[in-house]
Chains A and B, each alone.
Chain A
């Protein structure tokens, strides 16, 4: 009983801190058996790392009365995981973390699902993308690298990325359009592998997420040229020499007008009650207050936008249209 009380107290404190108008009544529903946390991607990638960190934080701070169990369902570019959630109608003991494949997988493979068939819970953060080259390359700025690409024949430069017809390749196509030159895109299974291939000099550049490449940057093996966001990153902790995430210029300012952010959000199966959704929104608000989560955000230079409810749905609507447009332009829609 004491334990239960402490939990309630924690919830109230967290609510006070976030200063959002949530009624304490939202704690009415609680999971009464282990909650499955589906990861529609393989082990070791960005989404998997985030899911396992969440699992750790929730267990360590006792934020949920039952266990959270991470399950990877990566088949069919994550389609397997999304279909599983879609078919678990009304099951409140299942949540799924999404990456951009929420939009790209149904478009590229024709696997039948749409985010509207799931119940959106919350946006946890947005993941940034950075243009990286090997630290031994002569290009110190994005402009120098762009000039080198433009000066060489088509397909001279090799861009490595995670998966095919997903976010990394979408950005690559956008870069090609902006520069008017073709790059050779080589797909790999995971972001960590891409970073190591860059260090080994097997590819010329990558658009790794910050967390996928940060350790190689700290070791001065790779060099960030620009970030695909509208503004520079806010994190000022020193990472390599005097450089921090905030010292990376935006790609737009470097003459490469490409912006892309990736959703790290939580969804539930269709047909769950508002009370059940509210429980998880509340849970993830509590998670955001923990020092471990703050550290993850800092390490991975995440954009910490948090959204839930209608605001989140409106954002998803916009993002879906955006992806459809980008994929259509690139010729990535299934059947084409």
Chain B
């Protein structure tokens, strides 16, 4: 471990080079812009800029590219809070309380909380990487298909158990998501499903299209119905909002710490940032004393998912470097870059390319600090966007959504699909079906199904594989408890009632 610190010190020396610091600032700024535009996520941004970096040293190049990634992560929160349009899957949970806060004129607070929490989560994960990198890589290897399915099961179950709406409505919404996720190629048999011979459906439904439609367009339709009134208008622009919010944040240290741990754990296991953010939100809602108010603009509901998502996103870099498995599309593009620079990710990277690895880790520390400072200065600026009358901003959002949907696959069909999802989102909201389980199922449905069927193939069809070792059994156990929580809680309260008179 002492070696790690000596290496890290050397890494700071490399990352602290003025040229590299300049690259960080450029990277973060570009990343924030990329993150704000839905559809143009971090993966595309990194892919477009990758060729520019071939003339740099590998360390400088990865610093620039990872900073674009951090910037995009920060930027994703901006549209979630302001317009209810999550730019990335893991920003969905941020909209639950972030957007209500913006609507009640507290956009500045919500943005500050989101950015600060992102930073805390990322920082926690980097410290963890510094301390126990080799152990963590070893732990990730424990995850076969059964263990992966258990993690997905836990994410779904905790959603059913912790949702505000009736569990039946949550399940219906989730099932619609599963059905949509099933469209396209069935990975296990290699056959097409539910495509009805339509070429456009070969690739299934892209998550981003669904989310831009369900949340972005759906929100615009709802607001229009409510008479074009956007309550964010009342927001006062206060440059001191950052300090004021910071003073309140330490109160939520328990939520932060819990979310950090959930995030790191989910990031290392290949489940990733999306289930981490949902789980952290769900648990915070259940545990917090303000839990009842979640969904109406509770700052803790922004802190929990943002912290977990960024802890997971950062922790996911570790399996990429140590095992060569990209945890996200962005990581996959970065992986391609590593190969061109002549670096082979895998177990030997930490040994053979120590200078590069520790330079990268040091740049994660510096990049996140630079990023936090940069985005916090933009808070009053972004919050003031909400002062623009809705009748002007709505068409702009619509256009941005359409461009975003088009950019995902350069396909006009996707823009149409986005509109269809928008109407669907509006109808579901009017009938009080929660949208989040639907989104969660679209994002994770495929992977969960795949892991389930891979497990059954390996076990020859026996469900016992999900209870075959302590790791998978305990995750499944927690999942079942989480899923049945309303029943259990009900039972407890009944017991208490019957116990009282006695």
Contacts and interface: CB of A to CB of B under 8 A. Distances in A.
The answer to whether A and B come from one shared complex is yes
Nearest to A67: B51
Interface stretch (B27-35, B319-327, B435-443): B319-327
B190 A200 contact: no
A117 interface: no
A155 B204 CA distance: 32
A75 B201 CA distance: 8
Contacts of A202: 144-145, 458
B141 A155 contact: no
Interface in A187-227: 187-189, 192-193, 195-197, 199-203, 214-216, 218-219, 221
Contacts of B50: 52, 55-56
Contact of B141 (A200, A292, A332): A200
Nearest to A219: B347
Contact of A197 (B51, B144, B329, B450): B144
Contact of B336 (A52, A69, A189, A334): A52
Nearest to B344: A215
Interface stretch (A22-30, A42-50, A245-253): A42-50
Contacts of B347: 215-216, 218-219, 221
Interface string B329-365: 1001101110110101111110000000000000000
B326 A44 contact: yes
Contacts of B470: none
A123 interface: no
A199 B348 CA distance: 14
Nearest to A108: B190
Given A52-B340, A192-B326, A200 B142 contact: yes
Given A56-B340, A186-B454, A80 B460 contact: no
A246 B202 CA distance: 41
B9 interface: no
Given A44-B336, A108-B190, A166-B190, A80 B199 contact: yes
A70 B409 CA distance: 12
A3 interface: no
Given A44-B326, A192-B324, A49 B336 contact: yes
A196 B147 CA distance: 14
B179 to A, nearest CB: 18
Interface residues on A, range: 35 or more
Contact of A44 (B323, B332, B348, B458): B332
Contact of B143 (A80, A165, A200, A221): A200
Contacts of B410: 71
Given A189-B187, A189-B450, A215-B345, A48 B336 contact: yes
Nearest to B333: A43
A313 interface: no
A35 interface: no
B416 interface: no
A53 B326 contact: no
Contact of A199 (B141, B185, B195, B454): B141
A256 B346 CA distance: 30
Nearest to A332: B190
B187 A164 contact: yes
Contacts of A187: 187-188, 190, 454
Given A49-B336, A219-B347, A299-B344, A196 B141 contact: yes
B190 A77 contact: yes
A214 B344 contact: yes
A76 B324 contact: no
B202 A43 contact: no
A56 to B, nearest CB: 4
Nearest to A84: B199
Contacts of B145: 186, 202
Contacts of B329: 43
B184 interface: yes
B325 A192 contact: yes
Contact of B144 (A77, A200, A332, A334): A200
Interface residues of B, number: 52
A73 B409 CA distance: 8
Interface in B349-399: 349
Interface string B165-202: 00000000000000000001111111110010001001
Contacts of B190: 77, 108-109, 163-166, 169, 187, 332
Nearest to A195: B324
Given A165-B190, A216-B347, A218-B346, A111 B333 contact: no
Nearest to A53: B340
Contact of B51 (A43, A55, A166, A195): A55
Given A53-B336, A59-B54, A75 B188 contact: no
A21 interface: no
A206 B347 CA distance: 18
A236 to B, nearest CB: 18
A298 to B, nearest CB: 11
A74 B203 contact: yes
A200 B48 CA distance: 34
A158 B325 contact: no
Contacts of A55: 50-51
A22 to B, nearest CB: 27
Given A56-B50, A109-B190, A164-B189, A196 B323 contact: yes
A75 B409 CA distance: 11
A5 interface: no
Nearest to A109: B192
A96 to B, nearest CB: 15
The 5 closest A-B pairs by CB, nearest first: A215-B346, A75-B203, A219-B347, A164-B190, A202-B144
5 contacts: A43-B326, A60-B51, A80-B199, A192-B324, A218-B348
Interface of B: 43, 47-48, 50-51, 54-55, 141-145, 184-192, 195, 199, 202-204, 323-326, 329, 332-333, 335-337, 339-340, 342, 344-349, 409-410, 450, 454, 457-458, 460
Interface of A: 42-44, 48-49, 52-53, 55-56, 59-60, 67, 69-71, 73-77, 79-80, 83, 108-111, 155, 158, 163-166, 169, 184-189, 192-193, 195-197, 199-203, 214-216, 218-219, 221, 292, 295-296, 299, 332, 334
Given A52-B339, A76-B195, A186-B145, 18 more contacts: A48-B336, A49-B336, A52-B336, A52-B337, A53-B339, A56-B51, A71-B410, A109-B190, A110-B192, A164-B186, A164-B188, A185-B457, A186-B454, A200-B141, A203-B458, A215-B346, A215-B349, A295-B342
